[in-house]
Structure 1
């Protein structure tokens, strides 16, 4: 499924493959009519754009994407690390900062009506969370601590029939970090989720 976005998504920084983006849009379209969508880990907004497009196309009057990210980058984005982007480094404050780029991309796409940025870690945002979620997409920090936090904060807020999507699933350590697939397996072992499909490194499960 080729998704048409209002801006050239190839110019948006991010690590989401085209087939993974299409899958997010496809599941977002199904779930946006059922309740709120939430992503843990927005970076510069590439995945947010696809989920927002699903909201606009499916339930423009009611749908919303909660975009959770502290916007100071994961371990691998820090100065001197493999995925550090100097264009996103604020030298004056000596910190990695994606918030301005994220807001710019959402604004350029005209999606501000469907996006609620939550600029804090998951554990802070989830402290008093009450809203049932129709879909959760986890793509935050890849340390085990960060991935477990995202899973524990949001998985239990997914309503029955809702979707849990987890990015960067790699079965072998040489392919990539093992924290995302660890929480994917944790979700399966809980008995609360059933697998639907794998698209590239994206795993999709349904809340039973």
Structure 2
């Protein structure tokens, strides 16, 4: 039953997180919206997690300790419930959120998400964006914005675009779909080979009965491994908030009309390109458009992995608008493994025609850039063997296997001019792409990351 006096029930499962859970709890207690309950499910921790939790004297905290660890129970008996389900049975709020015991809310998470849900009463679930922190092999903090994309049933059958701590769903939706799958395993789902971990499955089940919407505001800190340092002053370890600066009335920015025209340009391009199928987020596409249009240096623009031409069109429209270099589009036009018949991202055009090249050409013509693209129908490594021109912008979006990304980089990186840009797609969404990207940064200090948008990562080569 829902308690009308409680807006949000936050469910926090934990196991042996005595060294981390304190800061997660503090991030909940510090919320600007006070009417919540924090339900902590201790999965039979063997450290002093309970002592840490009980040190917070706040009657909004509900502490439940399980007698046996659910994973151990499953290992021994094949049984064992998901600790989040214990929280769901206990939750009384109108809305339910999930915060793991190493992640943190920003101070206005509840206030902003509840406002968003209240203003959209047809929603069953909403999700926001996050800062994603990583401590990679002790090499210091790496924090970037983990920006999600608009919800779509099709994309959700291929990858999970919803991070667990960014979620708020109605109590009604939870009661409708029931509980999480019992253990962390890949969960089969109707119509697809698998959906993945139990949270992915749960969001998809809710979406079959309720409307789901993305709230494009950064309200969460998502932590990978043990990360002790945060660039965001919102999370001082003791929450010592500095005095706010005096209110200032700033003069109007000299480039305000330029910014207005940029926003208008994005909308116009979005409308022009939205009919083209592809996996490139429109914001990522606009970043490529701006790099092609206004990126520094003199040299060629090379795209590796053109598929149906969505990214090609973004690049070509940018270069053509500025009268700069044409786009060299390198692709064998046979698709990757995931695009083949019966695969998780099956491409109907490829299955029907045996190639994406004809549709690629049609898409270029539909936005009047076929005269501004030089396609090379070959594999990336074969095309690079005869290449001898400097490159000012390289976009890598070919195969998603580690060796494939590595081969593309080794084939083309020697042509990048000093100060030139390389854009990597699908970082932090495809594990093998991510693995190579971070290794490349570690091994090539002359390349520095300059921007992260969705799964697009832009690096720039140092000047001589």
In structure 2, relative to structure 1, the CA distance for the partners of 1:7 and 1:114 (3 Å cut) is farther
SS of structure 2 residue aligned to 1:162: strand
SS of structure 1 residue aligned to 2:274: helix
Cross-structure match for 1:162 = 420
Q: Is the 8 A contact 1:28 1:54 kept in 2?
A: yes
Q: Is the 8 A contact 2:335 2:350 kept in 1?
A: no
Q: CA deviation at 1:33?
A: 6.3
CA distance in 2, matches of 1:9, 1:207: 30
SS of structure 2 residue aligned to 1:130: coil
Question: Rg bigger for which structure?
Answer: 2
Q: Is the 8 A contact 2:349 2:359 kept in 1?
A: no
Of 433, 439, 443, the match for 1:180: 433
SS of structure 2 residue aligned to 1:8: helix
Of 372, 378, 401, the match for 1:114: 372
| Deviation by residue 1:9-40 (Cα, 9 ceiling, x = unmatched) | 12111001111111111111123762210111
- More moved, 48-57 vs 143-152: 143-152
May I ask how many residue pairs the two structures share in their alignment? 197
Structure 2 spans left out of the alignment, 5+ residues: 1-262
> What is the root-mean-square deviation of aligned Cα atoms in Å?
1.8
Q: CA deviation at 1:185?
A: 1.5
In structure 2, relative to structure 1, the CA distance for the partners of 1:26 and 1:3 (3 Å cut) is farther
Q: CA deviation at 1:202?
A: 0.3
CA distance in 2, matches of 1:30, 1:146: 29
After TM superposition, list the pairs within 5 Å mapping 1:19-58 onto structure 2: 19-31=283-295, 34-58=298-322
| Deviation by residue 1:100-159 (Cα, 9 ceiling, x = unmatched) | 110111122221221000111111000121100000001111011211111111112110
After TM superposition, list the pairs within 5 Å mapping 1:8-87 onto structure 2: 8-31=272-295, 34-58=298-322, 60=323, 62-87=324-349
CA distance in 2, matches of 1:6, 1:14: 13
Of 168, 191, 194, the match for 2:445: 191
Q: CA deviation at 1:4?
A: 3.1
CA distance in 2, matches of 1:186, 1:104: 38
Cross-structure match for 1:142 = 400
Task: Return the TM-score normalized by structure 2.
Answer: 0.41
Task: Return the TM-score normalized by structure 1.
Answer: 0.88
In structure 2, relative to structure 1, the CA distance for the partners of 1:35 and 1:196 (3 Å cut) is same
CA distance in 1, matches of 2:395, 2:290: 13
CA distance in 2, matches of 1:54, 1:136: 14
Cross-structure match for 1:173 = none
CA distance in 2, matches of 1:90, 1:16: 22
Q: Is the 8 A contact 2:301 2:326 kept in 1?
A: yes
1:204 aligned onto 2:458: yes
Q: Is the 8 A contact 1:151 1:183 kept in 2?
A: no
Higher normalized contact order (CA 8 Å, seq sep 6+, divided by chain length): 1
CA distance in 1, matches of 2:448, 2:270: 34
Structure 1 stretches (4+) deviating beyond 6 angstroms?
A: none
SS of structure 2 residue aligned to 1:126: helix
CA distance in 2, matches of 1:3, 1:102: 23
Q: Is the 8 A contact 1:158 1:207 kept in 2?
A: yes
CA distance in 1, matches of 2:328, 2:272: 22
Q: Is the 8 A contact 2:303 2:330 kept in 1?
A: yes
Structure 1 spans left out of the alignment, 5+ residues: 171-175
